[in-house]
Structure 1
Amino acid sequence: MYQFAPSAQLRDVTMRDGLQLTGKMLSTERKLEVIRQLLALGVPELEIGSLARSDKVPPMANTLEVVAELTAEELDTCWVWVATARHVEKAAAAGARNFQYCFSASDAHNEANIGRSTEVSLAAMPDAIEIARSVGGQIELCIATSFTCPFDGPISEDRVLDIARDERTDGATDIVICDTLGQAVPAQVGSLISRVVAETPQRRIVFHGHDTWGLGVANTLAAISAGATLVDGSLGGLGGCPFAPGASGNTSSEDILFATRPDWLTPATLAVMVEISEQLLIDLGEPMRSKTVQGARSRQPGRAPAFEWVV
């Protein structure tokens, strides 16, 4: 199978980050169908929605309805994006127990994305942590624009490390390092992740990448090599940030899986995922950006039918 080592798990973020820029909406029923299809395939963790304002990010409007329809067992592996303590309260009331508390390393992006400074978001995190703990949940520290900001430019590693070391983030079980714009390069990703591992409190390290400049998979592999054990991707490379000009889709889940080859992935599993991905993007009217999906559909005369991953 040629598994990539060290190993890391995939978190598919299609139902949150993947849908943020889509023009078409998905019903609660359709979202639940995709979530359950991915869980049935063996995808270890999912990001299933956001408490972002529905007037700003309309595809997230039915997130709480999705959460309410999932079982407790399903929700054990599902994450909800939040930006305030009140978001945690609302998501917890619907049944969520895994919360991704997100703000930006850059003040300018945090103002555009959340409507407040990074310091204000950071100051509110202890309350969010306490609410998550009160319902037996867990919360991640998610740092957007960890490498570059569309308004402020490059972000220093020390800025990210200062946030990660801030005592107000104590209690976060994970830290998510985000290449929000997809402008980082592998050496840069490896450098920052290595420093987060070595110089900040021990937490699970998550890497969230975008493929804007074609380095999504390379950056993901660099992150894994440096110590990340969970990496984000979306079906077909769908996604992007509505408040980050120039950000395109997430790194494709299929491409990450094909590169890393976790135990649960087989040619048959990939074939099913390709079908799920293709139908979803057709429903949304979005282009297919996954190279793996494109390769998997190469069973034509004179192409590569003998390759076991071709479907």
Structure 2
Amino acid sequence: MYRFAPAAELRDVTMRDGLQLTGKMLPTDRKLEIIRALIELGVPSLEIGSMARGDKVPPMANTLEVIGELTAAELARCWVWVATPRHVEKAAAAGARNFQYCFSASDSHNQANIGRTTEVSLAAMPDAVDISRSVDGEIELCIATSFTCPFEGQVPPDRVIEIANDERATGATDIVICDTLGQAVPVQVQSLIERVRAETPDRRVVFHGHDTWGLGVANTLAAISAGATMVDGSLGGLGGCPFAPGASGNTSSEDILFATRPDWFEPKTLAAMATLSEELLTELNEPMRSKTVQGARSKGSSRTGRSAGSTPAAFEWVA
């Protein structure tokens, strides 16, 4: 069976970045159903919610309830978006142990997204690290708008490297490089990820991409080739940032998996994931953006010669 090398772990972000632009809050039980279905399918990591204010991002309003209903074993595979030490404290009290501390490389987006300058967010990170350590947790340094800002335009790569090397970010186990607008191209992604690996502290590198301009999978593969060992995606390409004009869906989890073929991903896994994705997007009245799901549901013929349509044969591929 074809495998993309080097390998990287998928983190599905449907329950956070996927939902936040929809404006519709899923009930806690429904979120738990989807989270547990993804875990059962073998998805290694998930982003399950955000500590953003519910009046600002309504779909995230029940994040603490979701955290509280998950087991310790389930939470070990789950990440929560945070932007302040207080966020970390509240999420940890509910049971979370993996925290994604996020702010933007550009001040304008950080002001729109979090309500403070990048410097203020960075200055507060040591306290966030201390709180995560007090519960034996892990915390990521997540840098939004690493390539382009909707208000300031292109973000210089040196700005990202400067933040990554700031001593106040010491203690982060991972660094997340975000193509928030989906405007980066593969050569940019490869170059920045290589620089992060070569010029900043030794941490796991995560790539968070969007498919706004159609390069989500290409950028993800470029990031993996450059050394990223975790990549983000969402079911059906759902998502986008409500505070970044022009940012649409995330890179599709199904498309990333079809391109990389990790050991746990089989045709039956794709079939089950596609059904889960289609049901969720129908529920949210959102379009299906996954090319893999669209291809599997096409009316053409499969490589096996059997009708594609919605039959299991549509999810088979040739080794």
Question: Is the partner of 2:102 in helix, strand or coil?
Answer: strand
Letter in 1 for 2:272: V
Q: What does 1:164-203 align with in structure 2 at a 5 Å threshold?
A: 164-203=164-203
What amino acid does structure 2 have at the position aligned with 1:175? I
| One-letter amino acid of the counterpart of residue 290, structure 2 | S
Q: Distance in 2 between matches of 1:14 and 1:272?
A: 16
Q: Is the Cα contact below 8 Å between 2:233 and 2:256 reproduced in 1?
A: yes
Contact 2:24 2:58 in 1 (8 A): no
Partner amino acid for 1:154?
Q
Map of 1:123-138 to 2, 5 A cutoff? 123-138=123-138
In structure 2, distance between residues paired with 1:309 and 1:247: 35
CA distance in 1, matches of 2:174, 2:314: 36
Determine what percentage of the aligned residue pairs are the same residue: 79
Deviates more, 1:89-98 or 1:17-26: 17-26
Does the CA-based 8 Å contact 1:23-1:284 persist in structure 2? no
In 2, the alpha carbon distance for the partners of 1:23 and 1:239 equals 11
Tell whether the 8 Å contact from 1:25 to 1:284 is kept in structure 2 after alignment.
no
SS at match of 2:198: helix
Equivalent AA in structure 2 for residue 35 of structure 1: I
After TM superposition, list the pairs within 5 Å mapping 1:14-53 onto structure 2.
14-53=14-53
Post-superposition Cα deviations, 1:209-267, rounded to whole Å, max 9, x if no partner, equal 00000000000000000000000000000000000000000000000000000000000
Is 1:306 matched up with 2:304? yes
AA matched with 1:70: L
In structure 1, how many angstroms separate the alpha carbons of the residues matched to 2:196 and 2:20?
Answer: 28
Partner of 1:97: 97
Unaligned runs of 5+ in 1: none
Consecutive unaligned residues of structure 2, counting only runs of 5 or more, are 306-311
Residue in 2 aligned with 1:68? 68
Residues 152-163 of structure 1 mapped to structure 2, 5 A cutoff:
152-163=152-163
The residue identity in structure 2 corresponding to 1:303 is S
User: Residue 103 of structure 2 aligns to which amino acid in structure 1?
Assistant: F
Give the AA of the match of 1:310.
A
**How does 1:244-263 map onto structure 2 within 5 Å?**
244-263=244-263
- TM-score of the superposed pair, with normalisation by structure 2: 0.95
Partner SS, residue 160 of structure 2: helix
> For residue 18 of structure 1, what is the amino acid of its counterpart?
G
Report 1:79-90 matches (<5 A): 79-90=79-90
SS in structure 1 of the partner of residue 262 of structure 2:
coil
* Distance in 2 separating the partners of 1:240 and 1:275: 22
Distance 1:124 1:228 in 2: 26
Q: In structure 1, what is the Cα distance between the partners aligned to 2:301 and 2:286?
A: 26
Amino acid at match of 2:204: R
- Residues in 2 aligned to 1:191 and 1:140: alpha-carbon distance in whole angstroms: 21
Deviations 1:256-305 (A, max 9, x none): 0000000000001111001100001011111000000011112x4x5226
**Which AA in structure 1 matches 2:196?**
V
Give the SS at the match of 1:262.
Answer: coil
Q: d(CA) in 2 for partners of 1:208 and 1:309?
A: 31
For 1:173 and 1:281, how far apart are their aligned partners in 2? 33
Query: Could you tell me the TM-score, scaled by structure 1's length?
Result: 0.98
The code of the aligned residue for 2:111 comes to: E
Mapped partners of 1:127, 1:56: distance in 2: 24
Range with greater deviation from structure 2 (22-31 or 253-262):
22-31
Measure, in 1, the Cα distance between the counterparts of 2:176 and 2:13.
Answer: 13
Report deviation, 1:306: 1.8
- In structure 2, distance between residues paired with 1:309 and 1:225: 31
**C-alpha displacement of 1:134:** 0.2
1:20-63: CA deviation from partner (whole Å, max 9, x where unpaired): 11132200000000000000000000000000011110000000
TM-fit CA distance, 1:103: 0.1
Which residue matches 1:282?
282
Q: Provide the aligned C-alpha RMSD in A.
A: 1.0
Cα separation, partners in 2 of 1:305 and 1:226, compared to 1, 3 Å: closer
Question: SS state of the match for residue 250, structure 2?
Answer: coil
Q: Distance in 2 between matches of 1:65 and 1:305?
A: 45
1:162-184 Cα deviation digits (max 9, x unpaired) = 00000000000000000000000
Structure 2 counterpart of 1:214, which letter? G
CA distance in 1, matches of 2:8, 2:25: 31
Name the SS for the 2:121 alignment partner: helix
Amino acid at match of 1:193: I
TM-superposed deviation, 1:309:
6.5
The answer to whether the Cα contact below 8 Å between 1:197 and 1:205 also exists between their aligned partners in 2 is: yes
State the alpha-carbon separation in 1 of the partners of residues 255 and 16 from structure 2: 19
Report the equivalent of 1:267.
267
Q: Distance in 2 between matches of 1:122 and 1:23?
A: 29
Contact 1:252 1:290 in 2 (8 A): yes
Q: Count matched residues.
A: 309
Q: CA–CA distance in 1 between the matches of 2:138 and 2:265? A: 27
